[in-house]
Structure 1
Amino acid sequence: MSHVLQTYGRFPVTLVRGEGTRVWDDAGKSYLDFCSGIAVCALGHSPKVLVEAISSQAATLIHCCNLYHIPQQEELARVIVEDHVRLPGKVFFSNSGAESNDGLIKSARRFGHARPQPDGSPRYEILSFNKSFHGRTLGGISATGQDKVKEGFDPLPTGFRHLPYNDLDALRAATRPETVAILLEPVQGEGGVNVATPEFLQGIKELCSEHDLLLLMDEVQAGFGRCGDPMAWREIAPELEPDGISWAKGMGGGFPVGAFWLSDRTIDGEKPLSSLMGPGSHGTTYGGSPLACAASLAVLREISEQNLIENVRARATQIRETVESWNHPLVTDIRGLGLLIGIGLDTSKMTTPEGKLPAIHLSAELITHGLLAPPAGPETLRLLPPLNVTETEVSEALEIVRATLDELTA
């Protein structure tokens, strides 16, 4: 009998060891891991640089609170701002993507007080999108455009509305005096691997400028190289300048760390936007610890020094060209950006046991053949290999996918 709260419907495999792109279960069977902890293990399992960084820092100083200066935190913030975002701003460190998004939500509310409606009442409403996912906190599920994550948790915090993704006309029509920000994933991961169009992102930025709204990017799953650029939004719309960005997952390579960034652009003529979140406005016990920041620094440096962005682009092209060449009857399309890839499934032609969702059934069958790859909704298989995955490993994984699809073709 398990004493773990049953909040997950787990696949029947128990993982005990990992190295690179492979993991092993408690029976000694190995698997190619194209889940990567859901886009977390950016360098694969137990990479030397991360193990050494954690070991060295753990032997020096694991934790101190944020009442004191933390040099690793200062360095990580500098690297993120100067080398990755490449726009002036400030960073707050958290422990997870949900916390990072809550920080963006709070920042938007604070902005709505500083820049109120014409009658002086604060602006508070955040617009997000159908099929989005922004975390499991009450704030995160309120911002999420999927009803299934909200069931049984009402009444939820108010001030959120959800609109069709990539529909600029609907967004324009929905903007009201109380609207303060637009929050979106440049690539929706959990919602089916849907990519924002350049026109949509540029139109959002113009709408934000016109109505004095904040543009907030959720890059928790997409950021730090997974989509072919350190910032996923820049791979789609290079000239865009967001007001806030959230991250977690891959930035720690498996160690829990998250962050959000706020722009230094001026509001009211002289005050930086980032200054609205001053002392007492936000806090964390564990966020930005010496150990977490040392781990993240090691991961981000390895991504940069090994030029893993180029590998992401090459392997993404390999996956797309290979899957397209199959002309498989179960494959409807290939969506995504970089190594955040979704394979759409024609479930009408797929053999699926009664009561099981097609994508979950496919993921379970792939496990029996030695591949871990998670679903993204009921009709999409997601591929999230490490950023340093090799050409040979991709070929091996795709052979497993193709053979399994053949088996499930009705």
Structure 2
Amino acid sequence: MTQQVTRATFDEVMVPNYAPSEIIPVRGEGSRVWDKEGKEYVDFAGGIAVTALGHSHPTLVNVMREQAGQLWHLANVMTNEPALRLAKKLTEKTFADRVFFANSGGEANEAAFKLARRYAFDHFGPEKHEIIAFNKAFHGRTLFTVSVGGQAKYKEGFEPTPGGIAHCDYNDIAQLKALISDKTCAVVMEPIQGEGGIIPADKEFAKQVRELCDKYNALLVFDEVQSGVGRTGTLYAYEQLGVTPDVLTTAKALGNGFPVGAMLATEAAAKSLAFGTHGSTYGGNPMACAIAEAVIDIIDTPEVLSGVNKRHDLFFEGLKTINAKHNVFKDIRGMGLLIGAEVVDSLSGKAAMFMKAAAEEGLFVLVAGPNVLRLAPSLIIPETDITEGLVRLERAVIKVLASEAA
């Protein structure tokens, strides 16, 4: 017999590190979701840029069912066909020569940062261990990844955190030049900062970061956990910057919600993760890799990727139309279907109010910090759902402005 649960159950049995809304979704199809009471929502959040092919995509459901009848898991003392097929496709479609599979973006980044230090140790010695990252960056929730991430709030209370990590402002090449040295083993950056406020990298900045890494024999690590797998209109965002990293991490959309992550690397870099240096119990399991392979097959097509850019324009025009009427955003920015709308100064710190009001109007949206409304919908969201979602967003905007004026 299925046990009945409610939102109150969360407060009884779960660790209080989350504060979920009262909504408990029970079913999703495409870009629509229904809760326990049968209320319908348009999904502009995508599970935080994860469900890139929407909910219950029929191809992915069939792949999962087929793989479930074959193999779910194997120990990593042996390999499996779905993992090999996925790795082969990822290397064929990117700069990379080698792949390491994990379960999440945080784990993929953990592997990347360990690789960077091990590579420097192997080639230059223990003194070359410093990592440079950027303020406002987000790279995961492990102790190492929150340390590389550029948001102090995620480290508070967990000190001492790993050392040898420095930060500078994103898109500020002068600051980076002042920090980088022969002791630097890696520079870690997102091609577009996600949690930091949907801030794309300047192409010239990215180009000079690559040049500095080459000059100081440091690896360039791109965190594409949020920006990857078609999110920006190319399979990976680095393709639009004209800059090739040495290491890249990917997760979120890779499994469309099934836990899977990967670290991609050049052969020269990958050699340093020699036998026994790193591992993952579930990483590369056949179920995750079969699903991720299907995701890549669907997304990496001209139809889907060009559709991302078309939908980008629809969202931008819709947000500009709302803003022309209500003057709530001082900037609308982003790449592909990773879009940020920064609220005006008079609403500073209140982006979450729009998220809450949107949910009340039947729309899922996100925030990226206290001032930015974030949209990261399915890459194949129907245009009718975009139109309807924007109508609901405008109602939410009106509701917030009315409450502020009261």
TM-score, structure 2 normalization: 0.94
Deviation at 1:347, TM superposition (A): 4.5
The residue number in structure 2 matching 1:370 is 362
| Secondary structure, counterpart of 1:283 in structure 2 | coil
1:210 aligns with 2:208: no
Deviation at 1:151, TM superposition (A): 1.0
Cα contact 1:347–1:358 (8 A) shared by 2: no
Q: 2:265 aligns with which of 262, 269, 276?
A: 262
How far apart in 2 are the matches of 1:172 and 1:89? Answer: 29
Deviation at 1:406, TM superposition (A): 2.4
| Secondary structure, counterpart of 1:161 in structure 2 | strand
Q: Deviations over 1:121-164 (max 9, x none)?
A: 43111100011000000011000100111111000011111110
The residue number in structure 2 matching 1:322 is 318
Q: Deviations over 1:341-363 (max 9, x none)?
A: 0011015158xxxxxx5111110
| Secondary structure, counterpart of 1:8 in structure 2 | coil
Deviation at 1:407, TM superposition (A): 2.6
Cα contact 2:115–2:269 (8 A) shared by 1: no
The residue number in structure 1 matching 2:346 is 348
Aligned length in residues: 390
Cα contact 1:193–1:335 (8 A) shared by 2: yes
Q: 2:97 aligns with which of 89, 94, 108?
A: 89
The residue number in structure 1 matching 2:87 is 77
Q: 1:45 aligns with which of 55, 72, 76?
A: 55
The residue number in structure 2 matching 1:197 is 202
Deviation at 1:88, TM superposition (A): 4.2
Deviation at 1:278, TM superposition (A): 1.2
Q: Deviations over 1:207-261 (max 9, x none)?
A: 11111111000000110100110011212x13x1210000110000111000001
Q: Deviations over 1:310-348 (max 9, x none)?
A: 111000011112222342411111111000000110151
1:233 aligns with 2:238: yes
- What percentage of residue pairs aligned between the two structures are identical? 40
1:308 aligns with 2:304: yes
What does residue range 9-408 of structure 1 map to in structure 2 within 5 Å? 9-83=19-93, 85=94, 87-116=95-124, 120-235=125-240, 237-238=241-242, 240-264=243-267, 272-305=268-301, 307-326=303-322, 327=324, 328-349=326-347, 357-408=349-400
How far apart in 2 are the matches of 1:289 and 1:349? Answer: 46
Long gaps (5+) in structure 1: 265-271, 351-356
Deviation at 1:177, TM superposition (A): 2.7
Cα contact 1:181–1:214 (8 A) shared by 2: yes
TM-score, structure 1 normalization: 0.93
| Secondary structure, counterpart of 1:307 in structure 2 | helix
How far apart in 1 are the matches of 2:383 and 2:284? Answer: 35
Long gaps (5+) in structure 2: 1-8
How far apart in 1 are the matches of 2:317 and 2:251? Answer: 30
Deviation at 1:69, TM superposition (A): 2.1
